[in-house]
Amino acid sequence: TQLLEQSPQFLSIQEGENLTVYCNSSSVFSSLQWYRQEPGEGPVLLVTVVTGGEVKKLKRLTFQFGDARKDSSLHITAAQPGDTGLYLCAGEYGGSQGNLIFGKGTKLSVKP
């Protein structure tokens, strides 16, 4: 059974601080996706990483896929209150398009 362990589960920081969220598995994934979910809404895709060692940047967000494609991280620089939300990592393994394994999520609160 593929599992994605996400940490930390909760994170409360002040505006301007940096943070990193981790997503780890013992399984190899063909891709890993990061989503953000706000209360009352469905998850919204932030990025997909495919190649081992890949780094993608989205403004103040940096996503990295581990060399072995078993882990990933999300780093936010100078967090802002608008970054508040639930961050979810989701792994896709070969041939399973549409069937993602999600982590439990990291609930981020950025205080002004």
Partner 1 sequence: DAGVTQSPTHLIKTRGQHVTLRCSPISGHKSVSWYQQVLGQGPQFIFQYYEKEERGRGNFPDRFSARQFPNYSSELNVNALLLGDSALYLCASSYLRDFSPLHFGNGTRLTVT
Q: Which residues bind partner 1 (CB under 8 A)?
A: 4, 6, 30-31, 33, 35, 40-45, 48, 50, 88, 90, 92, 96-105
Distance CA 1, CA 110 (A): 34
Q: How far is the CB of 106 from partner 1 (least distance, A)?
A: 10
Residue closer to partner 1 (CB basis): 31 or 64: 31
- For every residue of 63-94, which 3-state class applies, written as one string? EEECCCCCEEEEEECCCCHHHCEEEEEEEECC
Q: How far is the CB of 61 from partner 1 (least distance, A)?
A: 16
Residue closer to partner 1 (CB basis): 36 or 70: 36
Residue closer to partner 1 (CB basis): 33 or 70: 33
What are the φ/ψ torsions at residue 83 (nearest 5 degrees)?
A: -80, -10
Residue closer to partner 1 (CB basis): 90 or 108: 90
Contact present, 91 and 2 (Cβ < 8 Å): yes
